[in-house]
Structure 1
């Protein structure tokens, strides 16, 4: 089996005897590792294809802008507009690569050393305060619903959780029309803490909800709006790092995003 894998057959697996002995135990662990390896390789192939596809267009635009600037320079015309466009395109390309690097670092677990027990409700409250005016300026509303004098403790990195929630709110602001209401809230179910981001916008079709977490994936309806298609990929990476799951549900109308964290006990004073 390992020879097959070394020759590129990543679907090869060690057959189990069914006896439940040590050989079966080791085989199960090796097969699990091969499943993970196969998934990572498939992900790398998909990312490479997506990068080639999605970055080719802005790179071509940048080349065309520079060629126009070169032609104008040769004829003595001003090129300030072309330089501004080129700077904008190059910034978008750099932002895309920076986001890919951040996701890779998060998935590698590099930030776990900064984990502490913290109240995720305070993170939600801060995001609500920061983006309330942004939403209002954009013709939308953002409200935060928290139970007074209640704390919801999780084990995590505050900065990463802020980034995750900011991406979810910005995603709703970017893709929902004026008049949309967005709500942030936190609840607890047993030993789980649930962070909710709901809106009454157009939502996401059921068949697309898992795909939106893929790097550089964008809905057809979103391709005319700014963005790299990496915001929700970063959200998924941060959630995975925190042992949290993400569920996308129909909000009737709109979209409900639920991030489900394992709860921790309140830290001793």
Structure 2
């Protein structure tokens, strides 16, 4: 029984890895032709004599292609991190300057949403990791929080794992922009650093924690 169970687990893991590899491969193969399409559409917007309505339609098409390219970049990034193919630069640095940098970057957006960004970190707290990747992870969490902040029920405990999967858009979030990849990317970055992404009900709302061990 144990042998058969282990074999099934290995088979499931292989299938999941194949799916991850396939999605990353498709994203890689389509990125170049889509970039060419975006450039051609942009060149069309610069043509003289275009009617205003046609120019606006072309601008919208350029923006849609830009969003799709962003999606592909994120899929490829997640795949690189999960497979260990991510080029990263681990080093020791202080946590607080990183948090201050993220806060300064997003403070205008927070002000526009009438939200506060508070930092509670002792000076000198060390961390070993890739600073750029951790900035990206924190940025994703802040953008998600500002975009979907409300007084709603949050995410039920039994759906926390589902919310961290790729392309998952839970009920009630379909009207929000995005492709359901933000938390998947943060999760991959957290696990690369030996940490985890945790969720907890805030009653109302949801708490999301990027949990890393100081070193």
Q: TM-score, normalised by structure 2?
A: 0.75
Long gaps (5+) in structure 2:
27-40, 42-50
RMSD of equivalent CA atoms: 3.3
Shift of 1:77: 9.9
Instruction: State whether structure 2 residue 209 is matched by structure 1 residue 235.
Output: no
Instruction: State whether structure 2 residue 163 is matched by structure 1 residue 163.
Output: no
Give the structure 2 partner of residue 14 of structure 1. 3
Give the structure 1 partner of residue 16 of structure 2. 42
d(CA) in 2 for partners of 1:227, 1:15: 40
Q: 1:147 to 1:251 in 2, by over 3 A?
A: same
Q: After the TM superposition, which segments of 4 or more aligned residues of structure 1 sit over 6 Å from their partners?
A: 46-49
How many correspondences in the alignment? 192
Q: Any conservation in 2 of the 1:213–1:236 contact (CA below 8 Å)? A: yes
Q: 1:172 to 1:134 in 2, by over 3 A?
A: same
Give the structure 1 partner of residue 119 of structure 2. 145
d(CA) in 1 for partners of 2:187, 2:96: 19
Shift of 1:174: 0.9
Q: Any conservation in 2 of the 1:161–1:238 contact (CA below 8 Å)? A: yes
Q: 1:36 to 1:158 in 2, by over 3 A?
A: farther
Give the structure 1 partner of residue 149 of structure 2. 176
Bigger radius of gyration: 1
Give the structure 2 partner of residue 88 of structure 1. 63
Higher helix share: 2
- SS of equivalent residue, structure 1 residue 142: coil
Give the structure 1 partner of residue 108 of structure 2. 133
- SS of equivalent residue, structure 1 residue 220: coil
1:1-269 alignment, distance < 5 Å? 14=3, 31=6, 35=9, 38-42=12-16, 44-45=18-19, 79-111=54-86, 113-137=88-112, 139-148=113-122, 150-177=123-150, 202-264=153-215
